[in-house]
Structure 1
Amino acid sequence: MTFALNVTLDGCYDHREGIADDELHDYFTQLMDAVGAMLWGRTTYEMMESYWPAVARDEKALRAMREWAQKLDAKPKYVVSASRHDFPWNNTFRIAGDLHEAVTQLKEKTPRGVLVGSPMLAAELERLGLIDEYRFVVHPVLAGHGPTLFQGLEHSRRLKLLSTKRLASGAMALHHRRVDAK
């Protein structure tokens, strides 16, 4: 299971603060292509659902955005939600019940891996020891506000840097693995 997200130098994950160019969309499209499913919390799902299906159908959308949107539309999407039960977006399924058990089963039935894109859900999955890898794109921006990642983490986690990639915007794509991950 891989947690992937855009973040500023000061740790803000507000999606409006990143540099959303073609190269960034291509990077995340490649990450998504490599896995078998997406996993989100309800809030992130609703944000994605309100925007990307329309982009997938928009013939005038920028190439990189439309490609991301079309592939996202086709990709299995799992949503952790206690309150919402209806998910009309193509290939969307609800995760309910015990989070550790449900996500462990999802990992087992998805051999190509699962990409998590929800910060609050990722924090809980991290507490449960379910995240194996991290893919952060760190943007050369100081947002000066939150929200920030992993608020309230009980103790620090050691990560091993696997790779870096510098994007033309100055953002750095970082790939880490938990030291104790297999």
Structure 2
Amino acid sequence: MGILTFSLNLSLDGCVDHREGIADDETHAFFTNLMNASGAMLWGRVTYEMMESYWPAVARGDVEAPPAIREWAVQLEAKPKYVVSKTRTEFPWTNSHHIAGDLRAGVQQLKDATPAGVLVGSGTLATELDRLDLIDEYVFLVHPRIAGHGPTLYQSGLPSTRRLDLVTATPLRCGAVVMHYRRAQPDT
């Protein structure tokens, strides 16, 4: 069984607006490596549609992009992409698949079938998956910015506090820090 890793950019004040992060070669290389280490991507419909509206054109070369960004797009094009949606059923982007029905069962089945692990990159979906105790690890790229606005991480709340163990903390040249946590094991 693969693990489910939640990964996202966020500011120091918890803002997860994708426009607030530092998008340089180093951060794109980091996310490319993280994506390549996983067996599949998992998104909610809104994140899928945002990604679908831009990255296929970059992968095709229709949009000018630096090498690190083009590399991300090409790798993303080839990666299996799973989408949770109650309102959309057709996902024409290459290697895209719909997860319908019971969220817990569908995502658990995806984890079971993906030994290399699944990378989820949608904040709202991650909150729902966390409520179902399906997230195993968290890899956040914390940017040296205070956005002063939302949306924020877990703004709709969780039923209880999640205790985590630090795996690594790695600073990048741009001042961002990669924070990798694993869910703590219950005290025995």
TM-score by length of 2: 0.94
Give the distance between the partners of 1:106 and 1:154, measured in 2 at CA.
24
Gaps of 5+ in 2: none
1:59-94: CA deviation from partner (whole Å, max 9, x where unpaired): 742100000000000000000001101111000000
Shift of residue 138 of structure 1? 0.3
Amino acid at match of 2:176: A
Q: 1:170 aligned to 2:170?
A: no
Shift of residue 14 of structure 1? 0.2
Q: 1:38 aligned to 2:45?
A: no
Give the distance between the partners of 2:173 and 2:93, measured in 1 at CA.
33
Amino acid at match of 1:25: H
Amino acid at match of 2:184: V
- 1:99 aligns with 103
Give the distance between the partners of 1:45 and 1:81, measured in 2 at CA.
10
Shift of residue 180 of structure 1? 2.9
2:163 to 155, 158, 161: 158
1:133-163: CA deviation from partner (whole Å, max 9, x where unpaired): 0000000000000111112212111000000
- 2:52 aligns with 49
Note the 1:122-137 alignment, pairs <5 A.
Answer: 122-137=126-141
Shift of residue 18 of structure 1? 0.5
Aligned Cα RMSD in Å? 1.0
- 1:3 aligns with 6
Where has structure 1 moved over 4 Å in runs of 4 or more? none
Note the 1:9-158 alignment, pairs <5 A.
Answer: 9-58=12-61, 60-151=64-155, 152-158=157-163
Shift of residue 164 of structure 1? 1.1
